[in-house]
Structure 1
Amino acid sequence: MSSLFQTYSRWPIDIKKAKGTIAEDENGKTYLDFIQGIAVSNLGHCHDEVTEAVKEQLDSVWHVSNLFENDLQEKAAAKLAEHSAGDLVFFCNSGAEANEGAIKLARKATGKTKIVTFHQSFHGRTYAGMAATGQDKIKTGFGPMLQGFHYLPFNDPSAFSTLSKEDDIAAVMLETVQGEGGVNPADPEFIEALQTFCKDKQALLIADEIQTGIGRTGKAFGYEHFGISPDIITAAKGLGNGFPVGAVIGKKKLGDAFTPGTHGTTFGGNKLAMAAVKATLDIVFQPDFLQAAADKGSFLKAQLNRELTGPFVKEIRGKGLLIGIECAGPVSGIIGDLQERGLLVLPAGPNVIRLLPPLTVSEEEMLSAVSMLKAAIEAHSAVKR
């Protein structure tokens, strides 16, 4: 009997060792890992330079609290500011904490309380994160939610007109590619309408880049595909390549809202995390590395479109190396079959297979994954017929 709360429907696989794209379970079976901790190990498992940076820091100092100066925080924050639309950074421990901080920052900076988010969005499992999320299943059983959230259809430019008479709107919170909600990229027309709405309402734009940031879409952050300049950006997952860390990145004009005593964290920005962040960003934010990730995403999508034919596969979509394969029926059986074949993938809702390989994935590994996907989907389709 397990002593764990059963909050996860776990697969019967215990990964004991991993390097790069390859994971090995307790029985010695190896897998191509196209999950990477859910878009976390963007440089692959146990990347040498990140591992070395953390090991070096382990022998120096782990934690001193945020009451002291921290040069590693300064260096990591400067990297994020240099490669984003923001100027100031608050470090925390996770994506949910980053989104919580972003909501607090938006409300305090504007003096307004209402936040607009979108159907099928996912922003975390804290109370503010749940309230921001546009999926009822996340909220069931937890009682009254934090008030002040409006939910609009995603990718519907006309939807903003329903809030034309609303005032007190502090911010709009957006995933430029909805990950958990089905790998749904935003349409340019929708983003244009969103920008107009924010301008008319003098509302801040929060870009939730927890899954789409740190090179995942082939750019430093996913919002760059749309030519927008968010006021607040949240990052986590790939930020520390597996080390727990999150960040709120904001424009300089918001600095007066987060002053001493307004927000804080015990462990956020600790030196171990900052060593991992700096080593990760030094690699990912290189222009050649980002271009290679974009090229790999284009290659993988092209191979999937070529090989996954037939009526069961409805659409292949995404940006960079965040790809969703929408199917005509449930994909849980296909995902189990792929595990048997040696490929680890995720669902994104009941009918979408989500692929999140490391940005260091090789062409050979991508071709192998496509081959396994083709075989598993064809076997599933044959059974259904």
Structure 2
Amino acid sequence: MSSLFQNYTRRPIHLVKGRGTIVTDANGKDYLDFTSGIAVLSLGHTHPAIVQAIQEQSEKLWHISNLFENPEQEKLAETLVNDTHFAHAFFCNSGAEANEAAIKLARKHTGKHTIITFEKSFHGRTFGAMSATGQDKIRNGFGPLLETFKTVPFNDVSALEAVIDDEVGAIMLEVIQGEGGVNQVTPEFAQAISDICLANGILLIIDEVQTGISRTGTRYAYEQTVLKPDIMTLAKGLGGGFPIGAMLGTADLHDSLGPGTHGTTFGGNPLAVAVAQTVLDNVFVSDFIGEVNRKSAYFIEKLSETLPSHKVVGSGLLLGIVCEEEVASYITAADEAGLLLVSAGPNVIRLLPPLTVTNEEIDQAVDILKTILS
């Protein structure tokens, strides 16, 4: 019997090395990795710049805690907020931690406890983040959750308007629901959220844990909408494979997260910050982002030509293939054919290649998808 808790349904593949988009298992079989560790590996596996950053920083300093000044954190924060309306950053270890910080900040700043979230959303598995998540499969079995979350249908303006009252402190959403089915916010719904927040003094929290760091073809996915979040959360692609999360906030929120209000032992440690800065130095470049959009257009065109009966959804290199049937068997078939995929809900195949994927690798993936979906 395994000494591990069996809380993961693991695939029978033991990966031992990777480079770029290609990973190799213990038997020497190669795979195209179109999971990117679930939207994490922005620059692919073992990117030379990240390897160098880890090697160099590991010889200097790994961990000092947040008791001391950290100029490298300051630099990373400046990179994240540069040319945005945000002013400050808090660093942690994961997306769930970032969302917990966002929930605490919103409640403390407004003095209100109700936060509106949406069906099919996913914000993490800690208690606050799980309470915010609009999926019963994540929430069931854990007893009473935080009661001050109201979950309404996504992209439903009337349902949102119906729950707005004086107790609402924040609205929390993903611009594209990654886990929930690659569901994009509609322009009409985004405008309604913007108007409601402005008219009622409600904070807007946008969870960009999966969509941020150029994954969707802009630095942050909200930049493709009219939405202007007060708080934004990041993780996954920020560390390129090394654990780090972040919460960004506007200047007027600064005093609400004063000394002693929140903290983390490991968050923003020198090793994580060095890696994240290296990622941003590569992906927050206009030419790189342009390439992401070019590859996205190429990928979508190939999928549409090859699979005309399937709808392709998403943005950038967060794409989904919508199927009428459940996709679990397709994921298994793709494993066998040498393509690693992940689902988004029961009926969507999610495509999350590294942002460095090549056209040739996209062609190979489309050929495999054609075979398994036919």
TM-score normalised by the shorter chain: which range applies? over 0.9
Preserved contact between residue 194 and residue 226 of structure 2 (Cα < 8 Å): no
The ranges of structure 1 where at least 4 consecutive aligned residues each deviate by more than 4 angstroms after the TM superposition are none
Q: What TM-score comes out, normalization by structure 2 length? A: 0.99
Which of the numbers 314, 328, 334 marks the counterpart of 1:332?
328
Q: What does 1:158-169 align with in structure 2 at a 5 Å threshold?
A: 158-164=158-164, 166-169=165-168
- AA matched with 1:44: G
- AA matched with 1:321: L
The answer to whether structure 1 residue 306 and structure 2 residue 329 are counterparts is no
- Report the counterpart of residue 82 of structure 2 in structure 1: 82
CA distance in 2, matches of 1:95, 1:163: 27
- Report the counterpart of residue 286 of structure 2 in structure 1: 287
- Report the counterpart of residue 192 of structure 1 in structure 2: 191
How far does residue 100 in structure 1 lie from its aligned partner after superposition?
Answer: 0.2
CA distance in 1, matches of 2:272, 2:181: 30
Count of residue correspondences: 374
SS in 1 for 2:116: strand
CA distance in 1, matches of 2:227, 2:135: 26
CA distance in 2, matches of 1:330, 1:374: 17
Q: What does 1:181-330 align with in structure 2 at a 5 Å threshold?
A: 181-310=180-309, 313=310, 315-330=311-326
SS in 1 for 2:97: helix
SS in 1 for 2:369: helix
How far does residue 83 in structure 1 lie from its aligned partner after superposition?
Answer: 4.8
Could you list the per-position Cα deviations for residues 244-294 of structure 1 after superposition, in whole angstroms to 9, with x for gaps in the alignment? 000000001100001110100000000000000110001110011111101
Preserved contact between residue 84 and residue 221 of structure 1 (Cα < 8 Å): no
CA distance in 2, matches of 1:210, 1:273: 16
* Range 2-11 or range 194-203, more displaced: 194-203
CA distance in 2, matches of 1:236, 1:84: 18
CA distance in 2, matches of 1:55, 1:365: 29
How far does residue 323 in structure 1 lie from its aligned partner after superposition?
Answer: 0.5
- AA matched with 1:256: D
SS in 2 for 1:330: coil
Q: What does 1:118-137 align with in structure 2 at a 5 Å threshold?
A: 118-137=118-137
- Report the counterpart of residue 42 of structure 1 in structure 2: 42
How far does residue 160 in structure 1 lie from its aligned partner after superposition?
Answer: 2.0
CA distance in 1, matches of 2:161, 2:112: 20
How far does residue 46 in structure 1 lie from its aligned partner after superposition?
Answer: 1.0
SS in 2 for 1:173: strand
CA distance in 1, matches of 2:32, 2:83: 31
- Report the counterpart of residue 382 of structure 1 in structure 2: none
In percent, how many aligned pairs have the same letter? 53
The answer to whether structure 1 residue 366 and structure 2 residue 362 are counterparts is yes
The runs of 5 or more residues in structure 2 that have no matched partner are none
- Report the counterpart of residue 65 of structure 1 in structure 2: 65
SS in 2 for 1:18: strand
How far does residue 201 in structure 1 lie from its aligned partner after superposition?
Answer: 1.9
The runs of 5 or more residues in structure 1 that have no matched partner are 379-385
| Alignment RMSD | 0.9
SS in 1 for 2:64: coil
CA distance in 2, matches of 1:137, 1:86: 34
How far does residue 125 in structure 1 lie from its aligned partner after superposition?
Answer: 0.2
The answer to whether structure 1 residue 342 and structure 2 residue 338 are counterparts is yes
- Report the counterpart of residue 113 of structure 1 in structure 2: 113
CA distance in 2, matches of 1:96, 1:115: 16
CA distance in 1, matches of 2:85, 2:2: 46
SS in 1 for 2:18: strand
Q: What TM-score comes out, normalization by structure 1 length? A: 0.96
How far does residue 54 in structure 1 lie from its aligned partner after superposition?
Answer: 1.2
Preserved contact between residue 84 and residue 220 of structure 1 (Cα < 8 Å): no
CA distance in 1, matches of 2:33, 2:109: 41
- Report the counterpart of residue 143 of structure 1 in structure 2: 143
Could you list the per-position Cα deviations for residues 131-182 of structure 1 after superposition, in whole angstroms to 9, with x for gaps in the alignment? 0001111111101001211111101122222124x21211100100000000
> Structure 1 residues 87, 366: CA separation in 2 closer, same or farther (over 3 Å shift)?
same
